[in-house]
Amino acid sequence: MATTGEKSGRRDFLKTAGGVVAGLIIGAAVGASAFPRTERVTTTVTERVTTTATVTQTATVTQTAAPSAPSEVPTIKDSDFTWKEPGKANIVVIGAGPAGASFVKTLAAMPGARDKVTITVIERNEVWVSGLSHVDFVGGTRKLEQVAGKVKGVVADPKVVRLVQASVTSIDPANSVVYTNLGKTSYDILVLAPGIVLGEWEIEGLSAVRNHHAWDPGHALALGASIKRLESGNIVFGVPPAPYKCPPAPYEVTLLTADIIKELGRSDKVKITLIDANASPQPGPKARIFKEWLDKMGVEYVPNNKVVRVDPEKKEVETDKGERFQFDLLSVLPRNYAPAFIREAGLAKQFTEIDVSTFRTKAFDDIYAVGDHIQAPYTKSAYAATTQGRRLAEVIAERLGLGVKPETKVYNICWSYVNRNELSVIEVQWEPDGKTSEGYPKVGEPTAENKQKRHSWEEGLLKSLYA
């Protein structure tokens, strides 16, 4: 039994300790209020994480949310699946496509990562189907099972990475919380890599007609089948204003279609029209090659016209210039956008606004963004996304004190079909400040050899990210 003096001493100690804790909480709260996260801080993340752990009671409570096996439902308590361990930065990554997956794989493999980070990857799909091959699905040059990777493959080290199969509904940057259909998670660092969405709402009447495009594997397969079924009539393709995901793809799909129609002996019965919101085919350095092939294949190319309306009754599209085109088969790609939860959080108008060197969002110093949804000079492609993910891993590793300097330069290479056997090529590299490196872009004329190069690279990508 304790004596009065002992009790008094314990009370004093508890009072002092309580005062210290309360002081820390109040001080941290005042500090957080005085120095909002919109400010660019130069202190290391480790310091900020320590502060967060002190302030946020849930950070301690939710330490029980240990890594679950890949693809398992995470441990959820009070609707919260935060994975927070003392002394480690709790990184949440939304999206496990090439950008997110390459970020995770690169960071998790760095020496010291186990001691410094936990990474929660939130991805709604169990399988990633290579976007590069969507065009192949239209042309019948590739099968889906050849180019699919299991997303759980991003969990190379379960002590560092876990995968949560869930859909993000919103993010709360002010309070560092991500909400999903499986509950919420807090974060110290958030990496946005969810890809783009199509602004179908912008084209009046589009939702009332069947519109298959190559920006979704199912749509691409359906488009390929529809082309082969069409005995006669008009096929109308539509390209949105640049920038959009996979700039050469609309022209590739159009040329592959023309190639199929020619092989089926229907060139005199099927008319192909390509309506382009841009002044010439994209990307600019490949415009000449595409234009020559469009002419050669008898495609009617209509530049400087943006599809704004679809009349389901008349089966007609209308452009901003008032031009009208009848269709029997429609394939219009709407303008690309960052997903709604990013735009609603004030991080994007059309694309997510970032610093092109560090990928840090302009609005919040603890949120980064990579991949097709960012506003940057980098091509919206799988290759460029992969190198962005790698560079971001280096940026964050440096910030966490892992002794790494950002050295990866964003790079892209695109092999583009002009028919089912020949592909042109373009290579670009960017300096850290976003300017194109000297000597780029490099463009190569169409060859059959490029087909094998494209397929080999794609297989390598799948293995490196998801094997």
Partner 1 sequence: MRFFPLLFGFFVVGMALALVFSAGQEAVQTVVDRLTLSLEPGDRPVLVFKSGEPVNISIFRQRDFERGKPPVVMLPRVLEARLAMPSDVKEAYVVLASRPVSMEVESGKITDATQKIRLGEDVERAYVKFAGDVGTYQQIPRVAPGVVVKGRAEGRVCIMSEAEFRRWRGSGAVAGECFSGEFYKKFDDFADVYLVVVEPGVVEYAVYATLEMLLAVGTCG
Residues that bind partner 1 (CB under 8 A): 241-243, 247-248, 279-285, 287-288, 291, 303-304, 320-323, 335, 349-350, 356, 375-380, 412, 426, 428, 434-436, 440-441
Closest CB 417 distance from partner 1, rounded Å? 16
CA 198 to CA 172: how far, in whole Å?
A: 23
CA 178 to CA 171: how far, in whole Å?
A: 4
Residue entry with tokens 């210039």: 321
Closest CB 462 distance from partner 1, rounded Å? 23
Of 59 and 246, the one with the shorter C-beta distance to partner 1 is 246
Of 185 and 319, the one with the shorter C-beta distance to partner 1 is 319
Of 71 and 357, the one with the shorter C-beta distance to partner 1 is 357
Residue entry with tokens 């092989």: 263
* Ramachandran bin of 87, using left for φ above 0, alpha for ψ from -120 to 50, beta for the remaining angles: left
CA 192 to CA 339: how far, in whole Å?
A: 10
Of 162 and 454, the one with the shorter C-beta distance to partner 1 is 454
Of 294 and 393, the one with the shorter C-beta distance to partner 1 is 294
CA 328 to CA 297: how far, in whole Å?
A: 19
Q: On the CB side of 462, how many CA atoms lie within 13 Å of its CA? A: 20
Here the tokens at position 362 are: 């302009």
Of 397 and 414, the one with the shorter C-beta distance to partner 1 is 414
Strands 89-94 and 117-123: parallel
Closest CB 53 distance from partner 1, rounded Å? 37
**208 and 300 Cβ atoms separated by less than 8 Å:** no
Closest by CA position to 209, among listed 221, 228, 224, 226: 226
Closest by CA position to 424, among listed 396, 448, 445: 445
CA 417 to CA 294: how far, in whole Å?
A: 12
Closest CB 214 distance from partner 1, rounded Å? 16
Closest by CA position to 258, among listed 418, 26, 367: 418
Of 321 and 463, the one with the shorter C-beta distance to partner 1 is 321
Here the tokens at position 50 are: 């320590």
- Sign for the pseudo-dihedral over CA of 40, 45, 47, 52: positive
Task: Give φ, ψ of 444 to 5 degrees.
Answer: -120, 145
**128 and 36 Cβ atoms separated by less than 8 Å:** no
Closest CB 220 distance from partner 1, rounded Å? 20
H or E element, residue 392 = helix 382-399
Closest CB 298 distance from partner 1, rounded Å? 14
Closest CB 193 distance from partner 1, rounded Å? 19
Of 158 and 432, the one with the shorter C-beta distance to partner 1 is 432
Of 74 and 283, the one with the shorter C-beta distance to partner 1 is 283
Closest CB 390 distance from partner 1, rounded Å? 19
Closest CB 430 distance from partner 1, rounded Å? 8
